[in-house]
Structure 1
Amino acid sequence: MSVSIAHLGPRGTFAEFAAATYADSLGTEITELKAYPTIAQSLQATARKDTDFCVVPIENSIGGGVTFTLDTLWEIETLQIQRAFTLPVQHALISKAQNLSDIETVYSHPQALSQCHDWLETHLPNVNLVRTSSTAEPLPYVKENATAGAISSSWGAKIYDLPILAHPINDYADNYTRFWVLGHQQATCGQYTSLAFKLLNNEPGALLKPLQLFSALNINMSRIESRPTKRLLGDYIFFVDIEASADHSTTQTALELLKMHTAKLKIFGSYDLTAIERVL
Structure 2
Amino acid sequence: MTISIAHLGPPGTYSEQAAVFYANWLGKSVGVEAMLCPYPSISQSLHAVAKGQTQLAVVPVENSIEGSVTMTLDTVWQLDALQIQLALVLPIVHNLISCAIGLENIQTVYSHPQALAQCQGWLERFLPQVQIIANNSTTEALERLEQEPTTATIASSRAAQLYNLPILASAINDYPGNCTRFWVVSHNEANAGFEKSQSVASHTSLAFSVPANVPGALLKPLQIFAQLGINLSRIESRPTKRSLGEYLFFIDVEADASETQMKSALAELSSHTEILRILGTYSVLPVSAV
Length-normalised TM-score, structure 1: 0.96
Q: What amino acid does structure 2 have at the position aligned with 1:25? A: W
Instruction: Give 4+ residue runs of structure 1 displaced > 4 Å after superposition.
Output: 185-189
Cα drift, residue 143 of structure 1 = 2.7
Instruction: For 2:140 and 2:16, locate their aligned partners in 1 and report how far apart those are by CA, in whole Å.
Output: 12
1:272 aligns with 2:275: no
Question: Alpha-carbon deviations, 1:245-273, whole Å to 9, x = none?
Answer: 01111101100110000000000111111
Instruction: For 1:227 and 1:52, locate their aligned partners in 2 and report how far apart those are by CA, in whole Å.
Output: 27
Change (3 A) 1:140 1:69: same
1:85-164 mapped onto 2 (5 Å cutoff): 85-164=88-167
1:34-113 mapped onto 2 (5 Å cutoff): 34-113=37-116
Cα drift, residue 29 of structure 1 = 2.6
Q: Secondary structure at the match of 1:143?
A: coil
Q: What amino acid does structure 1 have at the position aligned with 2:78? A: E
Q: Secondary structure at the match of 1:259?
A: helix
Instruction: For 1:113 and 1:233, locate their aligned partners in 2 and report how far apart those are by CA, in whole Å.
Output: 29
Instruction: For 1:58 and 1:40, locate their aligned partners in 2 and report how far apart those are by CA, in whole Å.
Output: 12
Instruction: For 1:209 and 1:12, locate their aligned partners in 2 and report how far apart those are by CA, in whole Å.
Output: 44
Instruction: For 1:32 and 1:144, locate their aligned partners in 2 and report how far apart those are by CA, in whole Å.
Output: 31
Q: What amino acid does structure 2 have at the position aligned with 1:155? A: R
In structure 2, the partner of 1:261 is 272
Q: Secondary structure at the match of 2:281?
A: strand
Q: Which runs of 5+ in 2 are unaligned?
A: none
Of the three residues 244, 247, 251, the one matched with 1:236 is 247
1:182 aligns with 2:185: yes
Which stretch shows the higher mean deviation, 207-216 or 12-21? 12-21
Cα drift, residue 159 of structure 1 = 1.6
Q: Which runs of 5+ in 1 are unaligned?
A: none
In structure 2, the partner of 1:23 is 23
Q: What amino acid does structure 2 have at the position aligned with 1:113? A: L
Q: Is the 8 A contact 1:81 1:271 kept in 2?
A: yes
Q: Is the 8 A contact 1:199 1:262 kept in 2?
A: yes
Instruction: For 1:111 and 1:52, locate their aligned partners in 2 and report how far apart those are by CA, in whole Å.
Output: 26
Q: Is the 8 A contact 1:88 1:277 kept in 2?
A: no
Alignment size in residue pairs: 278
Which stretch shows the higher mean deviation, 120-129 or 156-165? 120-129
Cα drift, residue 186 of structure 1 = 7.3
In structure 2, the partner of 1:10 is 10
Question: Alpha-carbon deviations, 1:88-116, whole Å to 9, x = none?
Answer: 00000000112111111111112211111
1:220 aligns with 2:231: yes
Question: Alpha-carbon deviations, 1:212-237, whole Å to 9, x = none?
Answer: 00001110111000000111011100
Cα drift, residue 183 of structure 1 = 1.1
Instruction: For 1:144 and 1:233, locate their aligned partners in 2 and report how far apart those are by CA, in whole Å.
Output: 46
In structure 2, the partner of 1:172 is 175
Q: Secondary structure at the match of 1:190?
A: coil
Identical amino acids, percent of aligned pairs? 53
Length-normalised TM-score, structure 2: 0.93
Q: Is the 8 A contact 1:192 1:272 kept in 2?
A: yes
Instruction: For 1:271 and 1:215, locate their aligned partners in 2 and report how far apart those are by CA, in whole Å.
Output: 21
Cα drift, residue 53 of structure 1 = 0.6
Q: Is the 8 A contact 1:83 1:181 kept in 2?
A: yes
Q: What amino acid does structure 1 have at the position aligned with 2:146? A: K
Cα drift, residue 277 of structure 1 = 3.8
